[in-house]
Structure 1
Amino acid sequence: MADRYTARRLPRDPGPSGWLEIIGEVPAYPQLEDGITADVVVIGAGFTGLSAARRLADNDPSLSVVVLEAGHVAAGPAGRNSGFMIDLPHDLGGDSYVSNIDHDRKQITLNRKAQDFARAMAAEYAMPEEAVDPCGRINGAADRSGQNHNLEYTTHLDKLGESYTILSADDMERITGTPFYTGGLYMPGTIMLQPALYITRLARGMTTTLANRVSLYERTPALEMQRNGSGWIVQTPKGSVTAGTVIMAVNGHAESFGFYKKRLMHVFTYASMTRELDQDSMNAIGGEPKWNITPSDPMGTTIRRINGVGGNRIVVRNRWSFDSSMEVTEGRVKRFARSHRESFRKRFPQLEGIDFPYQWAGRLCLSMNSVPAFGMVDTNLVSACCQNGLGTAKGTLAGMASADLVTGHRTDIVREMESGEDPKKLPPWPISSIGANSVIKFREFKARKEL
């Protein structure tokens, strides 16, 4: 334990996220420019941080909570993911999504608690339908290997007692408008989010209805946490927060403060969004006005067709990179955007050349053993980090659990989050970097039919 923890770098998020750009004007929050006090300070205003703040307010209405966001709300990873809030097993670290039955049953129960939280927030704050849409998702298969992945998955779902619908190639073409897919697996339990819309509305709702208890500051990165008796002083560029407890809701950025050194894998994935589709484009594509496809192979292409706020568009996500620096260049984003265009062309050749005005990278944090970096890492200093690529559900759960832990509520979520082992130590650099990127390239090659 140290007297102070200093950030050796700050988050960087290349490329503006289309999710945030298309929703129009959003509330602005002040930059902290003074020394203030609070009972709890939450670092990070993404899924984890905002869920923690709301849960704290629910658990103990007497608490004062300050949330610090390094950039702008929904401009970071929370507003850059693809918006799948998945209830079922979905291990991105393996060759398939599944684990063992007992483990997966527990995870399903927890994931559905996160979904319940999102539904409750959407109802309370009257969010638009596409912010939190319980419409399910499809695992799309592009070849025999993909169909075998789906069949393997159905065997696991049968053991879990979960429902699904097997889709034929004709079904997939009717839904998507493209003959690209040879089959699919529809799972009704996934909630689809417009991530930036959900995060901005959650932040606005909380800071409006709980204004006397929850405060939010943008452009206010935490630079240092200094011990102050049993509490902490969090230094920011122009101010400070003196608080009894700190919750770090910063995912892989926890390592920047010196926690979980060489135990967290910093991975980027990349996405592009089309311009708004006009009527001619929609007629050319055909299919349904909205659908959501994850690849049957985890390294394939995730693709969504959306409508509502921001118009009718298609979002393409694929390609991965391991970057221990937690930074990637704009050039990398542009290079992978070409891959997105090729993926789009393979599915919709009739719209080849369509403009993709938004391309971006999103930071993920994985551990080798697919466990979170959760718990009390120092006196009254809680880590709610490492969501293993499932930030919508796992981030929400980590936020809820961290608030329960701070307020002394020994809930099932806390017990489950604390029951696992710590993230395993990574091989030394550069072996870890070379090895991880080699594995990514090999697995992308195996999934090439689904890219």
Structure 2
Amino acid sequence: MSGNSKKVFVASRLPKHTGVSGWVAMLPARVERPRLEGSIATDVVIIGAGFAGLSAARRVSQLDPNIRVAVLEAGVVGEGAAGRNSGFIIDLPHEVSSDDYGGDSASKSKQAIFISRSAIALAKGMAEEQGWGGEIFDPCGRYSVAISKEGDRHLVGYAGQLEKLGEEHRLLDAQEIAAITGSRSYTSALFTPGTVIVQPAAYIRGMADCLTQPVTVYEKTPAVAFESTGQGWLVKTPAGSISTDRIVLANNGHAESFGFFKGRLLHIFTYASMSREFDPGRLPGERKWAATPALPMGTTVRRVPGQRGDRILIRSRYTYHAAQIVSEGALRRAGALHDRKFKARFPGLDDVSMEYRWAGAMAVTWNSVPAFGEIERGVFAACGCNGVGATKATASGIATAELMLGHSTELTQIYRSFEAPKALPPQPFTAIGVKANLTFREWNAGDE
């Protein structure tokens, strides 16, 4: 809010995460970067060390390696929403029926693909520079899998769209996808080679740790407020403050916690469960693969190999929470659904229990556009991931860095062409409508 000439923005809430991410639990304990203590000055402050914030920091350092950047992470790097992601950096449409990628507009589809591949290019450059192996960054492609005749039809239709766009793809029948997944529940699949699969918590940790001076990451350092100071801004944290010229909000739905985009962001949570380790010999097929559902709101599945055994990740269920907090009860209900989905796909592993369950946040706009741009003088937003967060948040971070430093690129031109996020209906109509829509779409997805 503002008073006189000074503008003050105070966080009404800080991120709160429900459940333990299996991605984090599988890693060694993190050696945390120090929290900020005392007062410092810097050129740019980035609030949020997830896909958007760290991508923005890397892009700033590429464009001008002399710019001082402070990245503030409210918790521990990798334990927030980014480390709760399913780990798909997707180059092509995620949903075959998405308005964003429909066959009615080849130019719109190509624009979306350009955005996605801009994100992959930044990630790939970092992986090559750091020498990351396939356990962190694997350009192995992905499968879209069907479990019903309707899903089969969607995949055939989607393959037709890809054919028109000149995009490489391959349709698989039930026997072929069973040979890969070890599951006989899938009726068909579509393979596209351009997706990168990451271990999201390891990727985010690695991304933060490869940033070097004059970029500094501070952990357990939430931005609790910021205020204008004439020429710039003063960002306040629990134990310190930073004087800066520019701020990047890379905290997705929590931009609203500072008063931005009020009534324009839908706070949607999705859920994942990860099994305990099992003997790889118990499940035929390849030991590493990643699959998204043919129908929107279906079930994402990954097989994750390990030295002591393999695990299965199941992601399904979407719920709306305006307060950006998920209850343990909601997590339990999602977990029960995951157990049913798991047993339906892998009946031979019916004695393998889930070891980790967690919820992860995303911010969606009504018109499916990012919450992007200069929203106050010197304050820039890279928010509103609209799902597919690893891809879209990365691209938003890149575009924000370029916009902030005055670099006009094809990516910034695309982002600047987006309309603003539309206002949502007043409560309780938004809550009623969103919950009804999510319920219908999950029902429509059926066993998928």
Q: For each residue in 1:283-320, what CA deviation from the matched residue of structure 2 results, as whole angstroms up to 9, or x when unmatched?
A: 22211101111000011100000124785211000000
Structure 2 counterpart of 1:267, which letter? I
SS at match of 1:449: coil
Match of 1:167 among 172, 178, 197: 172
1:64 paired residue number = 68
Residues 232/440 of structure 1: CA separation in 2 closer, same or farther (3 Å cut): same
Per-residue deviation at 1:410? 1.0
2:331 paired residue number = 333
1:150 paired residue number = 155
Structure 1 counterpart of 2:343, which letter? R
Match of 1:318 among 316, 319, 329: 316
SS at match of 2:135: helix
Match of 2:345 among 347, 357, 371: 347
SS at match of 1:397: helix
Q: How does 1:112-123 map to 2 (within 5 A)?
A: 112-123=117-128
Which range moves more in the overlay, 99-108 or 39-48?
A: 99-108
1:372 aligns with 2:376: no
1:124 aligns with 2:141: no
1:104 paired residue number = 109
SS at match of 2:351: coil
SS at match of 2:447: helix
Q: Please say if residues 226 and 233 of structure 1, whose CA atoms lie closer than 8 Å, have aligned partners that are also in contact.
A: yes
Q: Please say if residues 23 and 310 of structure 1, whose CA atoms lie closer than 8 Å, have aligned partners that are also in contact.
A: no
Structure 2, gaps ≥5 residues long: none
Structure 2 counterpart of 1:144, which letter? K
SS at match of 1:225: strand
Q: CA separation in 1, counterparts of 2:308 and 2:359?
A: 20
Which range moves more in the overlay, 336-345 or 349-358?
A: 349-358
Q: For each residue in 1:229-255, what CA deviation from the matched residue of structure 2 results, as whole angstroms up to 9, or x when unmatched?
A: 131111111111111100000111111
1:187 paired residue number = 192
1:35 aligns with 2:36: no
TM-score by length of 2: 0.96
1:90 aligns with 2:94: yes
Q: CA separation in 2, counterparts of 1:340 and 1:438?
A: 21
Q: CA separation in 1, counterparts of 2:162 and 2:271?
A: 29
Q: For each residue in 1:390-430, what CA deviation from the matched residue of structure 2 results, as whole angstroms up to 9, or x when unmatched?
A: 21111111111111112111111111111110111111111
SS at match of 1:26: coil
Residues 195/310 of structure 1: CA separation in 2 closer, same or farther (3 Å cut): farther
Match of 2:206 among 173, 191, 201: 201
Q: CA separation in 1, counterparts of 2:147 and 2:18?
A: 30
Q: For each residue in 1:198-238, what CA deviation from the matched residue of structure 2 results, as whole angstroms up to 9, or x when unmatched?
A: 111111111xxx1x301111111111110011311111111
Runs of 4+ off more than 6 Å? none
SS at match of 2:375: strand
Match of 1:361 among 359, 362, 370: 359
Q: CA separation in 2, counterparts of 1:309 and 1:368?
A: 44
Structure 1, gaps ≥5 residues long: none
Q: How many residues align?
A: 443
Q: How does 1:74-85 map to 2 (within 5 A)?
A: 74-85=78-89
Identity between Structure 1 and Structure 2 (%):
44
Residues 343/97 of structure 1: CA separation in 2 closer, same or farther (3 Å cut): farther
Per-residue deviation at 1:362? 0.4
Q: CA separation in 2, counterparts of 1:200 and 1:264?
A: 27
